[in-house]
Chains A and B, each alone.
Chain A
């Protein structure tokens, strides 16, 4: 058992899948000799060559569009968008093309591709290196949207995404790339199923639902609340689309209280969908209003340190929201 970082989990996943299946290739900006600006593809160019680790032009829509074409031909592209904030030019390709291909061709054409995009704030990235965009894509049937939170999940979910026959977006919590470390067995196939959430902490007083970096902050807050005698159950969603509703409903059915934590803007964020599902399907299990803790509704995260802190949920803010909900 070795302790590795989250980004090492991603790197191992790509390395193993490249070795396993010669249809797999990587395309993106600076993924080649540079090994990616975050070094997620470090060493892969040397190992697999320029034929399979392809530095793209600085043009996001064609990273995805070309990936779609290759997938239609039968290959398994892993497309890296350098920062999720830069994915918008490719929105049409992802939403109108990749997501709809299977449906619009009645299953004749499919797009087995992975789109990796580092997301989230807390790294001094300002408006355009901090965005959380999962809600845009989790709205689109035909896509799968995955957000790993631990090194094991990063490795296991990315490997599963590569093998999935559908277009899968993997939003990677970049603040956690090197911050989050965890044990991942060596010499063992790590595959984590898509569409399955994980109860990462068992509790009785309320359910806290999070993903990505917010999942770690939520666990920290839950630890703090345990000292106060408040027992928080924490769910790491892992896959936002398709959502593991059973786990969410099961936990909230038990605790009667739900808090959803995400760092996207509050309004229209993914937590709103969870809240809607709970209102719709768990109404008579609720002992308190469903609460969301998200980023403020300003266009994006500011750069300056105190302004960034103001924007982002953190363990203290989360613990406060938990305390309030527990006392309801």
Chain B
């Protein structure tokens, strides 16, 4: 069993030493602690005692050579013991030798990779500075920050801005049309139904109630009376979403639920003012252009069918008043407290079939009106923002709007003009 003779670290800052003299030659016997060699270093010149008793079997480092602390200088062992001609490649490791300690540093276990801080829109210089928290929220909610209006210094999008935007996105609210309670509207398929099939399949018979009979009778009459044509447009609701987000708390203080329906009522009123031919009724004598604007809103009564209460003089109401009226009528519809007058006199009707996921539909006109507006589900969709030489993709909250009109009174161009106004009003909301 051989023992290595090591160049000690002689001092806290000393890293190497020079063998100045071997006091024993290879093959000579030596006792532990007997001086074996002399070394000199920057701080101390000293004798090195033998670390073990035996024969100095091999001298690796000749006199005059300077080596790192920790280097194996020679080997002491028993006579005849085989020893290497050269020291092992790696120097001896012990706590006082700086080099091996470094050389033997284990490579660190791989650390779990931290997700890099999201840099959602940092590559979009047009957005201005995007702070870490805004980038994070945008990444988490997959928001196109170009849709978010900045209110910070120089128009920077602040955390509040992006949170307001997030709060306005339908994903955050289970259904985007839920005043007071429950669903307000039902899909037009359910509301208006289709023509009955020739032979009903056998099954349980549920007797008709009065409402159902009235609906059936009305639907058939309407289809028979008016030649229905439907035109479709889509609207970018970003601004409506932002406006609603910014104001719904203020409205709530007045006890009013600011629903999207209110916006569609206001937009429809604007279009009815701009294109009065839609706020009209057919008579044999001629088309009656109504002076007043009474907008009906279809309200589901569940299994009992639906009813269409009317917001009277909607053109004279603010957004707040419209929202309040919707809430009032919907509540009274569900609690069966509508008065006959509440459901009469409408000049135009809106049905929001999007609430149950319908993208667009062709509802049946509420006679004797000229048209009915169908509102599809609001969805975030990729759209192309056109700008000369710099078209860009954007993710926007979009909805299809349909106008089903009586082709006796209205031509397609007039209907489209009406629908354009609705879209424009919604898209430029401020």
Q: How far does the alpha carbon of A287 sit from the alpha carbon of B151 in the complex, in Å? A: 13
Q: How far does the alpha carbon of A52 sit from the alpha carbon of B136 in the complex, in Å? A: 59
By CB atoms of chain A within 10 A, which of B131, B134, B135 has the most?
B131
A67 within 8 A of B: no
A4-38 contacts to B, CB under 8 A, are none
Question: Given that A256-B159, A287-B159 are known contacts, is A328 also in contact with B132, CB under 8 Å in the complex?
Answer: no
B158 within 8 A of A: yes
B153 touches A328 (CB 8 A): yes
Smallest CB gap from A287: residue in B: B159
Q: How far does the alpha carbon of A283 sit from the alpha carbon of B116 in the complex, in Å? A: 11
B156 within 8 A of A: yes
A284 within 8 A of B: yes
A284 touches B153 (CB 8 A): no
A244 within 8 A of B: no
A256 touches B153 (CB 8 A): no
B152 touches A284 (CB 8 A): no
If over half of A's interface residues share one DSSP class (helix, strand or loop), that class is named, otherwise mixed; here it is loop
Contact of B152 among A283, A286, A328 (CB under 8 A): A328
Q: How far does the alpha carbon of A288 sit from the alpha carbon of B157 in the complex, in Å? A: 11
Provide the A283-295 mask, 1 if CB < 8 A to any CB of B, else 0.
1111110000000
Smallest CB gap from B152: residue in A: A328
Residues of A within 8 A of B131 (CB): 256, 286-288
Provide the A317-328 mask, 1 if CB < 8 A to any CB of B, else 0.
000000000011
B153 touches A327 (CB 8 A): yes
Q: How far does the alpha carbon of A191 sit from the alpha carbon of B411 in the complex, in Å? A: 83
* Shortest Cβ distance from residue A291 to the other chain B in the assembled complex, whole angstroms: 13
Smallest CB gap from B118: residue in A: A284
B117 within 8 A of A: yes
B135 touches A284 (CB 8 A): yes
B156 touches A328 (CB 8 A): yes
B132 touches A283 (CB 8 A): yes
B133 within 8 A of A: yes
Smallest CB gap from B135: residue in A: A284
Question: Given that A327-B153, A328-B152, A328-B153 are known contacts, is A284 also in contact with B117, CB under 8 Å in the complex?
Answer: yes
B119-164 contacts to A, CB under 8 A, are 131-136, 152-153, 156, 158-159
Q: How far does the alpha carbon of A284 sit from the alpha carbon of B118 in the complex, in Å? A: 8
B152 touches A327 (CB 8 A): yes
Residues of B within 8 A of A327 (CB): 152-153
Size of the chain A interface, CB-CB below 8 angstroms: 9
Residues of B within 8 A of A328 (CB): 152-153, 156, 158
Residues of A within 8 A of B117 (CB): 283-284
A251-288 contacts to B, CB under 8 A, are 256, 283-288
Smallest CB gap from A204: residue in B: B160
Contact of B158 among A283, A284, A285, A287 (CB under 8 A): A287
* Shortest Cβ distance from residue A269 to the other chain B in the assembled complex, whole angstroms: 24
Q: How far does the alpha carbon of A285 sit from the alpha carbon of B134 in the complex, in Å? A: 8
Q: How far does the alpha carbon of A328 sit from the alpha carbon of B128 in the complex, in Å? A: 12
Q: How far does the alpha carbon of A327 sit from the alpha carbon of B131 in the complex, in Å? A: 14
Q: How far does the alpha carbon of A327 sit from the alpha carbon of B134 in the complex, in Å? A: 15
* Shortest Cβ distance from residue B121 to the other chain A in the assembled complex, whole angstroms: 14
Q: How far does the alpha carbon of A283 sit from the alpha carbon of B134 in the complex, in Å? A: 11
Q: How far does the alpha carbon of A327 sit from the alpha carbon of B132 in the complex, in Å? A: 17
Q: How far does the alpha carbon of A321 sit from the alpha carbon of B53 in the complex, in Å? A: 76
Q: How far does the alpha carbon of A271 sit from the alpha carbon of B172 in the complex, in Å? A: 38
Q: How far does the alpha carbon of A328 sit from the alpha carbon of B156 in the complex, in Å? A: 8
A284 touches B133 (CB 8 A): yes
Smallest CB gap from A254: residue in B: B159
* Shortest Cβ distance from residue A207 to the other chain B in the assembled complex, whole angstroms: 13
By CB atoms of chain A within 10 A, which of B117, B132, B152 has the most?
B132
A286 touches B133 (CB 8 A): yes
Q: How far does the alpha carbon of A285 sit from the alpha carbon of B163 in the complex, in Å? A: 13
Residues of B within 8 A of A284 (CB): 117-118, 132-133, 135-136
B332-365 contacts to A, CB under 8 A, are none
* Shortest Cβ distance from residue A146 to the other chain B in the assembled complex, whole angstroms: 32
Smallest CB gap from B161: residue in A: A287
By CB atoms of chain A within 10 A, which of B117, B133, B135, B153 has the most?
B133
Residues of A within 8 A of B118 (CB): 284
Residues of A within 8 A of B159 (CB): 256, 287
* Shortest Cβ distance from residue A138 to the other chain B in the assembled complex, whole angstroms: 26
Q: How far does the alpha carbon of A270 sit from the alpha carbon of B158 in the complex, in Å? A: 28
Q: How far does the alpha carbon of A234 sit from the alpha carbon of B377 in the complex, in Å? A: 44
Residues of B within 8 A of A287 (CB): 131-134, 158-159
B132 touches A285 (CB 8 A): yes
Q: How far does the alpha carbon of A284 sit from the alpha carbon of B117 in the complex, in Å? A: 7
Residues of A within 8 A of B152 (CB): 327-328
A109-135 contacts to B, CB under 8 A, are none
B156 touches A256 (CB 8 A): no
Smallest CB gap from B158: residue in A: A287
Q: How far does the alpha carbon of A287 sit from the alpha carbon of B158 in the complex, in Å? A: 7
* Shortest Cβ distance from residue A219 to the other chain B in the assembled complex, whole angstroms: 23
A285 touches B133 (CB 8 A): yes
Q: How far does the alpha carbon of A76 sit from the alpha carbon of B132 in the complex, in Å? A: 48
Q: How far does the alpha carbon of A285 sit from the alpha carbon of B140 in the complex, in Å? A: 13
By CB atoms of chain B within 10 A, which of A285, A287, A327 has the most?
A287
Q: How far does the alpha carbon of A154 sit from the alpha carbon of B372 in the complex, in Å? A: 72
Residues of B within 8 A of A256 (CB): 131, 133, 158-159
Q: How far does the alpha carbon of A283 sit from the alpha carbon of B156 in the complex, in Å? A: 18
Q: How far does the alpha carbon of A260 sit from the alpha carbon of B386 in the complex, in Å? A: 45
Give 30 pairs: A residue, B residue, CB < 8 Å, sorted on A.
A256-B131, A256-B133, A256-B158, A256-B159, A283-B117, A283-B132, A284-B117, A284-B118, A284-B132, A284-B133, A284-B136, A285-B132, A285-B133, A285-B136, A286-B131, A286-B132, A286-B133, A287-B131, A287-B132, A287-B133, A287-B134, A287-B158, A287-B159, A288-B131, A327-B152, A327-B153, A328-B152, A328-B153, A328-B156, A328-B158
The 3 closest A-B pairs by CB, nearest first: A287-B159, A256-B159, A284-B136
Where the two chains meet, the residues of B that have a C-beta atom closer than 8 Å to any C-beta of A are 117-118, 131-136, 152-153, 156, 158-159
- Inter-chain pairs besides A256-B158, A285-B136, A286-B133, 9 sampled, C-beta below 8 Å: A256-B131, A284-B117, A284-B132, A286-B131, A287-B132, A287-B134, A288-B131, A327-B153, A328-B153
